[in-house]
Amino acid sequence: MKQKPISMYDSFEIGNLMIKNRLVRSATFEFGADDGVVTQRIIELYRQLAEGGSGLIITGMYAVLSSARSSPVMVETTYDGYVDDMKRIVDIVHENGSLLFVQLNHTGYKTAKSPGYDRIGVSEQEIAEGYTYLEATPDDIKRIAEAFGKAAKRCKEAGCDGVQIHGSHGYLINTFLSPYYNQRTDAYGGPIENRARILFEIYDEIRNAVDNNFPVSVKIPFSDRVSPSIMPDECVYVCRELEKRGIDMIEVTSGLTMDGGGSSFSPFVKDESQEGSFLAGAAQLANAVGIPIVSVCGYRTPDFIEKALNETAVAAVSLCRPLVREPALSNRWKSDRTKAACISCNRCFMSKGIIACQAEK
């Protein structure tokens, strides 16, 4: 019997969760916190996204320590009211039939260049004049891994459906994984087994802090798009090791950038030939592991999305910039399958107060 084609509105499973469709809102920095605290602006952003129909919503990156933030407008998970504030967001998301993961991060070399922030990285590095980051010690790494575990536990207490470890785009974990920045000669440097050690330790701390029924995912690069880069076989190794440990989902991206811009990991998308920029890597990983693989970057049309779902083993696609322009895009495509309105200009990343489309409409 011929198998029924997969629709982007078919459900799929992540761990013990059923996601109502295969359109995931990829983590997108909100620019909306008040010195690390969730604001009403952020709550309303997630209300719009939930009402807009995405099956799974992944928050913007939230810091596991106050000192791990890239700026005061980044949410951090340790302030006293965090659990209650997140409960408000979770309730809104659940009322609209969607599920919520929190993306957890330490921003590494991208921490705010102000007193009180961590000034450590994978290796000693002068990032800007007068701003040298010291090589993280084993004690630093242990402290950070434990912070990931505590943050995940707080997300679970708030009723969130899962967490995502941010292992990409030039933040701390990515710089350990990448030979471009990892110059260490200890147990965290050299071969991929060592460069991935911090990620494995962070995952283990999270899993020990929550039970096996609480989904944990990771956003990981298939390529750094610089040289030297993490290699495809190394990425496959890391993902297989995480699968052995019990990780529930992997979102596959690419690109290592340190300048705060989006050029290395947010390619322009002018037509269908440029869609799914990192699909090939995601498809290769989907063939190598038995857990859901989500492909991010450059999805703009329903026809291409459903082609990707039917011609590869990826379970879902995730969207970032198109949902900034059209938070209700997932619902709109049910009746109007024209291309997303996003023009890939990246000006949304220059937002102040809360992320919003800055393009002329």
The token pair at 194 is: 């060592």
| Among candidate residues 145, 159, 152, the one with its CA nearest the CA of residue 92 | 159
Query: How far is Cα 62 from Cα 280, in angstroms, rounded to an integer?
Result: 29
| Among candidate residues 261, 309, 254, the one with its CA nearest the CA of residue 277 | 254
Query: How far is Cα 74 from Cα 103, in angstroms, rounded to an integer?
Result: 12
Residues 6+ apart with CB under 8 A from 360: none
46 as an active site residue: the answer is no
Using alpha carbons only, what angle is made at residue 119 by residues 114 and 123, rounded to the nearest 5 degrees?
A: 150
| Among candidate residues 217, 183, 223, the one with its CA nearest the CA of residue 199 | 217
Q: What are the contacts of 183-186 at 24+ separation with CB within 8 A? A: 183/122, 183/123, 184/122, 184/123, 184/135, 186/138
Single out the catalytic residue among 62, 82, 109, 171: 171
Residue located via tokens 């434990």: 146
Q: Which residues of 336-356 are buried (b: 16+ CB within 10 A; e: fewer)?
A: eeebbebbbbbbbbebeebbe
Catalytic (active-site) positions: 171
